[in-house]
Structures are given as C-alpha cells and as structure tokens.
Amino acid sequence: MTPPLNRSWNPGLCGFALLTALATLGLLAAGGLVTSHGAGMAVPDWPNTNGYNMFFFPFSQWVGGIFYEHTHRLFASLVGLLTSVLALWLCGAKARPWMRNLGIALLAAALGVLAAWPRRWSDALVLGLTGVALFGSSFAWPRCGPSPRWLRRLGLAAFLAVVLQGVLGGLRVVLFQDQIGIFHATLAQLFFALVCALALFTSRWWQNAASAPADFDARRLSSLVLATTLLILVQLILGAWMRHQHAGLAIPDFPLAYGKLWPPMDAASVALYNQQRLEIVSVNPITSFQIGLQMAHRIMAALILAAVAACAGWTLRRLGPKSALGKLALLWLGLVLAQALLGATTIWSNKAADIAMAHVLGGALCLALGTVQCLLWFRRFLPATEGRGEGVEGPGASVEGGKWRPSLLAPRHSTPGFLRPVRPT
C-alpha cells in the first residue's frame, strides 16, 4: 500500500535543502581547483582580499591564482548564506523574532563601524544590507511550524560547521599552515554529507517510508554499509593529507609504484626518486613518509572497492535491482569505479588540475551516497507505531496499513517521534 502524502511535508524546505547540497558540491569543486592550481596563498590576507572588502574586490584583478582563491571565497559565502537560511527555515515561524532582532543589531553595528572607521564604508555597507535583508525578510518569512527538535539541532550543527569551515580556511591563510588545510578539507566532506542528510530528512519519502522486518541478515548488511562509509571517510582524510603535503605525485606511475608492487623506501632509493621524478606542482622533495602515505591510499582504495561491491551484491540479492536501495547500491558501485579511474588518471595526467578536482568531487559523492544509504537502512528498521501522533507543531501522522505513523515533522520532543510509540486515543 502506498503511503498517503504527509501533510506536514514542506516541498519548499526540501527543495532548498537540495539547493544547499548542490551549492556545497560546487564549493568543493572550487576548493579542489584552488589546491590543484596551488593557489591557496594567492590572496595573502583574510577576510579581506588584497586589502579590499571581499565583495568589492575589483573584477580587473581576478587573474591567475587570485581568480581561483577569490572565487572560492565568494562561493563559500554563498554556501554560508544558504546554510543560514536553511537553519532558520527549520525553525519555522519561530525564527521571525530572531531575524528581526539580529537585523536591528547588524544595522546598529553598521552605523557604529561607519562612525568609528569612515574608510571602512564597504564593511559597514555589507553589514547594513545584511541587517536590512534580515529585518525585511522576517515579515515575509514562512509561517510553517518548526521542525522537530532533533532536526533543528542538525540545522544548527550545519550552521556551526559552515562557520567553523570559514574560520579554518581563513586561519590556513593567516597562519600559513598546511595542517589546517587537512582539517579544512575533511570538514568540507563531512559538511557535504550533513547537508545531504538534511535534504533526505526533509523529503516526503523519509516521512512516509514503510518499515521492514529487521532480521539478522539485514542488520549485518546495514553494518557493512556503515563500515564501508567510514572507510571512505578515512580514505578522504588520507587524500586531503596527500594533497596538502604535496604528495599527490610522490609515486608517478600506476598500477605499479616505481616499477614494483611495493617501492623501496630507504634513503638511497628516495634520493634516486627525487632525482628522476617529474613533479610539476610541488617544488618540495618527496619523503619516504609521503610514498608510504600514497601506498596506503592505494590499498585503502582497493579495500573500498571490494567492500562497495560486496554491499551492492548483497543488496541486490536481498532487495532486487528495482528497489531504491538496490539502485543506490549500483550507483555507489559505479561511482567508486569511476573514482578509481579518476585516481589513476590523475597520476597518468601528471596531476592535471581538472582531473584532480573531479577526483575530489567523486570522493565527496561516494561519502554522501554511503551516508544516505546508512540512513535509509536505519529508516527501514524503524517500527510502525500504533496510535495518533502527538505532534503539536504540525499535522500529526501518516497512515499505512491501517496504522498511524507519527510524522517526523510533528513531535516537539528531542527524541524523534517515530521512536516513541503512542497509544490510540
């Protein structure tokens, strides 16, 4: 039986969450181009751009590495704006007073900056326009009820994550520390997975999906999907470590490594590698640690490919290729295969910037798709509850098979309502 449409589903909110996820993917692409072109320090100051307010930087100076770094900053600002709106939208009409108060505060701050530092008129203008936008939009803000507390907290976590991500990016420039870039890149991948999860949680399918018997075999399969997703996260951390230590071509050949299955890593061999290698992006000599890091990256790629193939095969045998999870499992396997090819092509092309960027995006999509599958498996195990949902912030429940299922957008409690059975009234 097909579940009826849950009236608490907000298509606008779901579409906006999807837009935020797509913008985040674009931001990852912009960040990948910055690293691939070695343009991370093309703009040496932050939050300004060569002394200008970021939003008033002359277009005539968008040249060379400055173009990639400045575009990355503007894209990051857009994603920050979208994430802020998404977090506020999850609060529904309750966000209106906050928006008005914050808008007034920003307008006051703009006047203060203009009075104290007249030369910083551009900063005052940005603050003032932001304040006017917040104050004005509060009167036209959607009057929908707030999402459940756990979903609002996820929205707040996304907002805090994007703020932290911006600060880490700025500190990477100000402190000139490659190690901060590793955390910056890792948090970017996690943030993308979180925004994709928010898009899933606000979808109609998530609210109306049916549960299924949670037998032992299904739980083992879901555990394998979770473990594989965690492996992908570790692999992305290794990749970020390589890119920010300039080890992307520490080994210039593939599938062999310096003509062997496992390259010698003694001091004499490394010295010979540094003599012979054709690295064009990094000017630093490679070390045995960087060679070992890339070998670990290759081994992890093989493990992930095997694990994803096992997940896909097991899912297809259990649910069939026409099921949603079966289709996602096949897509996951295809993405991982394409990602492996992109990794090899990155080496064969001597780390071409566009291919390296595509490799970064492929890793982000693999992590996000694994995260979505983990959540979908979890959703299947949620038991159908009897009784009427006790939502007071939105319509109560959807009906399936003669049973009431509380809406995910209904409960006010911090624990999701579908975990709390409610007796019929």
Q: What is the mean pLDDT of residues 40-53?
A: 91
Task: Report the pLDDT value the prediction gives residue 158, as an integer from 0 to 100.
Answer: 97
**Coil, helix or strand for 260?**
strand
* Cα(332)–Cα(351) distance, integer angstroms: 25
Q: What is the dihedral of CA 406, 403, 422, 204, to 10 degrees?
A: -10
Whether the per-residue pLDDT at 177 is higher than 90: the answer is no
Whether the per-residue pLDDT at 401 is higher than 60: the answer is no
> Could you give the percent of the chain with pLDDT greater than 90?
65
Q: What is the mean pLDDT of residues 79-99?
A: 95
Lowest mean pLDDT among 124-128, 147-151, 281-285, 414-418: 414-418
Whether the per-residue pLDDT at 277 is higher than 90: the answer is no
Whether the per-residue pLDDT at 412 is higher than 80: the answer is no
**Coil, helix or strand for 415?**
coil
Q: At what angle do helices 11-36 and 64-90 cross, to 10 degrees?
A: 160
Q: What is the mean pLDDT of residues 257-278?
A: 87
Task: Report the pLDDT value the prediction gives residue 60, as an integer from 0 to 100.
Answer: 93
* Cα(209)–Cα(191) distance, integer angstroms: 25
* Cα(304)–Cα(289) distance, integer angstroms: 22
Task: Report the pLDDT value the prediction gives residue 274, as an integer from 0 to 100.
Answer: 84
* Cα(153)–Cα(415) distance, integer angstroms: 11
10 Å CB burial of residue 229 (0-12, 13-18, 19+) is buried
Q: How confident is the model at residue 13 (pLDDT cuts 50, 70, 90)?
A: very high
Q: What is the pLDDT of residues 199-252, one digit of tens each?
A: 999 998 887 766 666 566 778 889 999 999 999 999 999 999 988 876 558 888
Whether the per-residue pLDDT at 400 is higher than 50: the answer is no
Q: What is the mean pLDDT of residues 33-54?
A: 90
Task: Report the pLDDT value the prediction gives residue 74, as an integer from 0 to 100.
Answer: 96
Task: Report the pLDDT value the prediction gives residue 78, as an integer from 0 to 100.
Answer: 97
Q: Which residues of 294-310 are buried (b: 16+ CB within 10 A; e: fewer)?
A: bbebbebbeebeebbbe
Whether the per-residue pLDDT at 69 is higher than 60: the answer is yes
Task: Report the pLDDT value the prediction gives residue 276, as an integer from 0 to 100.
Answer: 77
Task: Report the pLDDT value the prediction gives residue 404, as an integer from 0 to 100.
Answer: 34
Q: How confident is the model at residue 366 (pLDDT cuts 50, 70, 90)?
A: very high
Q: What is the mean pLDDT of residues 90-115?
A: 94
Task: Report the pLDDT value the prediction gives residue 213, as an integer from 0 to 100.
Answer: 60
370: tokens are: 């694994």
Q: What is the mean pLDDT of residues 139-168?
A: 93
Task: Report the pLDDT value the prediction gives residue 379, as an integer from 0 to 100.
Answer: 83
Whether the per-residue pLDDT at 339 is higher than 60: the answer is yes
Q: How confident is the model at residue 414 (pLDDT cuts 50, 70, 90)?
A: very low
Task: Report the pLDDT value the prediction gives residue 211, as an integer from 0 to 100.
Answer: 62
Q: How confident is the model at residue 384 (pLDDT cuts 50, 70, 90)?
A: very low
